[in-house]
Amino acid sequence: MKKLTINNKTFNLKDITQLYPAVLVKTGYKNEVAEMSLEWIDIEAKGRVEIDGYGIFIRIGEEEKHSFLYPSREDLEIALANLSAQINI
């Protein structure tokens, strides 16, 4: 069975229902953040939002969600390259 490891946490690839990168942006309400797509940030945001961080999010079924957060886009891209290498083995 193929496995995927991110930040020393291992998942069975067949159990993952969603795997996606996102940008965390501040909503303006207390410390609340929202996930936005990288594409939206690159094309639509045009500096109008405050970025709080970046993440890779994994969902297993409907209830279980794992978040792996990164301080910069460069760190996120390194983690995504690592994931891609694991999937394409």
Domain that holds residue 34: 21-87
In a domain, residue 6? The reply is no
In a domain, residue 2? The reply is no
List Cβ neighbours of 25 (8 Å cut-off, separation of 6 or more).
33, 34, 36, 41, 45, 49, 50, 51, 52
Query: Tens of pLDDT along 46-82?
Result: 878 999 999 999 999 989 999 999 999 999 999 999 9
Alpha-carbon distance of 39 to 16, in angstroms, equals 22
In a domain, residue 75? The reply is yes
Query: Tens of pLDDT along 6-22?
Result: 999 999 999 999 999 99
In a domain, residue 16? The reply is no
In a domain, residue 7? The reply is no
In a domain, residue 9? The reply is no
Q: What is the domain count for the chain?
A: 1
In a domain, residue 70? The reply is yes
In a domain, residue 61? The reply is yes
pTM: 0.89
Q: How many helices (H) and strands (E) does the chain have?
A: 2, 6
